[in-house]
Chains A and B, each alone.
Chain A
Amino acid sequence: KQEVTQIPAALSVPEGENLVLNCSFTDSAIYNLQWFRQDPGKGLTSLLLIQSSQREQTSGRLNASLDKSSGRSTLYIAASQPGDSATYLCAVLSGSARQLTFGSGTQLTVLP
């Protein structure tokens, strides 16, 4: 059974800092990995999707990397802003049923 772990569970940084969120998964036979953002009381918004054959994806100030063999992914946020404050969830698509398995998330607070 696929398990996804995110570290840290919570992170507080001053505005302008670069930061890294970590995600690990137990079964490396994945189709893809996604990073989502969830704002309080809202649904999830997909930020980046990395296919299993890719090593990284970039969107604006966000860069996600994937090391499938070691079961790890990182989300790098450059020059953080208060508007980046949210919970960031990592999810992997795997299994014959192609199910998304989510981590428990990292709650990010960027202080002005």
Chain B
Amino acid sequence: DARVTQTPRDKVTEMGQEVTMRCQPILGHNTVFWYRQTMMQGLELLAYFRNRAPLDDSGMPKDRFSAEMPDATLATLKIQPSEPRDSAVYFCASGFGGQETQYFGPGTRLLVL
């Protein structure tokens, strides 16, 4: 049963610390998305990659957030330095092509104190 995996599932950190979230897309999928979900803003697209190349990261605060795909099996989202307003659930999703269903991971619940 292929699925997207994310680590860690939960992260509590103090303001100013670096946070790294990891995602393993479904094998064979060539598109990876990072979303952030909060009560106030709902689900927002932060960045996405196709064939490991970043296509759009306009939803991401550039000064503190960075997203990479070191290889086809790993996507990372880093926050440095973290702030309390970054507290949210971060989802990774993968898909194939441009118009197909996206498959979501279970999310990383981040709390920045």
Contact = CB atoms under 8 A, between A and B. Distances in A.
Tell me whether A and B are bound partners.
yes
Interface residues of A, number: 24
Contact of B103 (A46, A51, A89, A99): A46
Nearest to B3: A43
A46 B98 CA distance: 16
Nearest to B59: A99
Interface in A15-58: 31-32, 34, 36, 41-46, 49, 51
Contacts of A101: 45
Given A43-B91, A99-B45, A99-B56, A31 B102 contact: no
Interface in B17-76: 33, 42-43, 45, 48, 55-56, 58
B99 A43 contact: no
Please report whether the interface of chain B is mostly helix, strand, loop or mixed according to DSSP. Answer: strand
B98 A45 contact: no
Contacts, number: 45
The residue in A51, A89, A98 that gathers the most chain B C-beta atoms within 10 A of its C-beta is: A98
Interface residues of B, number: 22
Given A42-B106, A44-B91, A103 B42 contact: yes
Contacts of A100: 33, 45, 102
Given A100-B45, A100-B102, A101-B45, 13 more contacts: A32-B99, A34-B102, A42-B107, A43-B104, A43-B106, A44-B91, A44-B93, A44-B104, A46-B101, A49-B101, A89-B43, A97-B58, A100-B33
30 contacts: A31-B98, A32-B99, A34-B101, A34-B102, A36-B104, A41-B109, A43-B4, A43-B91, A43-B104, A43-B105, A43-B106, A43-B107, A44-B93, A46-B101, A46-B102, A49-B100, A51-B99, A89-B43, A91-B43, A93-B99, A97-B58, A98-B98, A98-B99, A99-B45, A99-B48, A99-B56, A100-B45, A100-B102, A102-B42, A105-B42
